[in-house]
């Protein structure tokens, strides 16, 4: 009875305040929500430098509570919409970074607003369950409508998590369990294993490793940090594990001018992968799995050819290693395919694929044989959040209805073409332009120039992100279109022309 009363009260409140739920913008009727509503602003509008006075005041407040030195500025999310982020000083900026690549269909999308207005969804947002033991009645159904509707080829098992780090961390655990189960011949666990694992010793805690690549980023939890090699500040002072680190190809651009050199570079890296697997085996440390990003994102937007990844997958199979593809930043459609590794054309699918960011929830897909053989082995209190699955299902509907994968390809081409033109005009400032879909980037001469360009762009109304030692990356939403690309290119062309 109390639940019904709460639902009625909230429904009434939602109906009476529907204008507030669309964050101060025009009312979105049910009919309007069914069509492609243009909810974007028409361009940047700057009132102060960024961060402005209100942001600086709030930074000071927050820094008294926690280290807030990483904060760029404070945001007014009620006024942000579409591809535009508004800050607390009233500055409206074209956001090409989208919360570190985690906003799929723009700010305050009408379809998601409508989802929140529906009374039958209230309980999902209010009551967050411990999914591993007390899931809601419709949990399996909602997984099928959301994650499993876009599952990578050959992967129909999924575990949800809350973030990218815990997705990779638990994927590592699933791989280690799979490998150990193979080794013991799928027999029962011994008493010695049960006792030794409690004191962190073999055979209960076997000496396994994950092979990773220099420049990779897979998260900040303890196991993930052992596979993260993008910036020293991420790893400093944290004990780590003796796991193998292979070189990742450093391609030369333009690609068509360096075909032979790039092939040799990729062959060198693949040979090192095999050598490391054998070397560690001789040290009695088994490489149980290989983890790789389709595009090394935090490490500098480092690309490799589709052929490189196909050969890497073959090496993993040859040596009995699990093949884990980290799609935390590349997944969700920004490369023009829902999963970036689809571009590779693998005959044998990846064994495990991790996700987060644009997918609204974290987690990992995996083959049947990586399924835990007992309860509580892959487990935590929340194991994700059903409200995020509900939102993801709506996001997927929008992606399909508005053909946003093709849009990412089309808008990405406009962006990349424009960047190549700027590179030709300002080669002293821009080099190594690269990208797939809207997942684009370029290099600057050094870190100082990169940071200065990002700051100037922000004060001109464009939010950009850095990665690696000197790269600028683009991570727009899936509703970023050609005209947004041209708007940015015009602004950035002026910045480069006047850069000193």
Point out the residues that are catalytic. Answer: 217, 326, 357, 381
- Cβ-defined contacts of 415-422 (< 8 Å, 24+): 415/440, 415/474, 415/485, 415/488, 415/489, 416/440, 418/485, 418/486, 418/488, 418/489, 419/489, 421/489, 422/489, 422/492, 422/493, 422/496
What residues contact 72, with CB distance under 8 A and at least 6 apart?
50, 51, 458
Sequence-ordered list of residues with C-beta below 8 angstroms from that of 219, at least 6 positions apart, any chain: 163, 164, 165, 166, 167, 168, 169, 225, 228, 328
Residue 188 in tokens: 């029962």
Distances (CA, A) of 38 to 82, 393, 466, 476: 8, 21, 29, 17
What single string gives the DSSP state of each residue in 168-213?
A: HHHHHHHHHHHHHHHHTTTPPPPHHHHHHHTTT-TTTS--EEEEEE
Q: Of 227, 244, 226, 225, which Cα lies nearest the Cα of 315?
A: 244
Helix (H, G, I), strand (E, B) or coil at 122: helix
Lateral strand order in the sheet of 471-474: 431-436, 439-443, 471-474, 465-467
How far, rounded to the nearest angstrom, does the alpha carbon of residue 45 sit from its chain's CA centroid? 29
Look at residue 163 and give its three-state secondary structure: coil
**Cα(44)–Cα(84) distance, integer angstroms:** 8
Q: How far apart are CA 331 and CA 408, in angstroms?
A: 12
């Amino acid at each position: 009875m109390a639940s019904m009363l709460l639902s009625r009260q909230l429904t009434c409140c939602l109906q009476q305040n529907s204008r507030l739920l669309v964050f101060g913008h025009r009312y979105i009727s049910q009919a309007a929500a069914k069509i492609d509503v243009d909810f974007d602003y028409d361009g940047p509008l700057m009132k102060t430098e960024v961060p402005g006075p209100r942001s600086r005041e709030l930074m000071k407040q927050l820094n008294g509570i926690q280290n807030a030195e990483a904060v760029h500025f404070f945001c007014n999310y009620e006024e942000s919409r579409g591809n535009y982020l508004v800050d607390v000083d009233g500055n409206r900026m074209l956001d090409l970074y989208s919360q570190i690549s985690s906003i799929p269909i723009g700010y305050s999308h009408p379809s998601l607003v409508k989802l929140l207005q529906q009374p039958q969804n209230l309980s999902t947002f209010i009551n967050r369950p411990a999914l591993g033991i007390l899931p809601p009645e419709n949990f399996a159904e909602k997984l099928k409508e959301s994650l499993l509707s876009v599952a990578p080829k050959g992967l129909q098992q999924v575990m949800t998590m809350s973030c990218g780090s815990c997705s990779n961390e638990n994927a590592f655990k699933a791989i280690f369990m799979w490998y150990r189960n193979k080794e013991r011949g799928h027999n029962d666990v011994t008493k010695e294993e049960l006792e030794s694992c409690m004191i962190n010793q073999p055979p209960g805690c076997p000496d396994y490793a994950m092979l990773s690549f220099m420049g990779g980023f897979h998260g900040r939890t303890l196991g993930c940090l052992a596979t993260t090699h993008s910036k020293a500040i991420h790893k400093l002072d944290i004990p780590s594990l003796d796991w193998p680190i292979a070189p990742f190809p450093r391609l030369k651009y333009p690609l068509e001018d360096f075909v032979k050199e790039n092939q040799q570079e990729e062959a060198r890296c693949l040979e090192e992968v095999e050598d490391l697997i054998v070397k560690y085996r001789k040290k009695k440390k088994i490489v149980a799995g290989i983890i790789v990003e389709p595009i090394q994102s935090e490490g500098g937007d480092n690309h490799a050819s589709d052929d490189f990844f196909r050969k890497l997958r073959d090496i993993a199979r040859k040596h009995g290693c699990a093949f884990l593809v980290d799609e935390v930043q590349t997944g969700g459609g920004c490369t023009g395919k829902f999963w970036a590794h689809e571009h590779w054309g693998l005959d044998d699918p990846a064994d495990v694929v991790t996700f987060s960011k644009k997918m609204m929830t974290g987690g990992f897909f995996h083959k049947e044989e990586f399924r835990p053989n007992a309860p509580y082995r892959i487990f935590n209190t929340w194991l994700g959040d059903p409200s995020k699955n509900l939102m993801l299902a709506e996001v997927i509907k929008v992606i399909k209805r508005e053909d946003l994968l093709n849009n990412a390809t089309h808008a990405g081409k406009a962006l990349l073409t424009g960047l190549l033109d700027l590179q030709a005009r300002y080669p002293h400032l821009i080099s190594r332009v690269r990208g797939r879909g809207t997942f684009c980037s370029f290099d600057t001469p050094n870190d100082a120039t990169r940071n200065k360009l990002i700051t100037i762009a922000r004060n001109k109304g464009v939010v950009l992100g850095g990665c690696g030692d000197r790269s600028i990356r683009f991570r727009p939403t899936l509703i970023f279109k050609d005209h947004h690309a041209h708007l940015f290119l015009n602004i950035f062309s002026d910045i480069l022309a006047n850069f000193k």
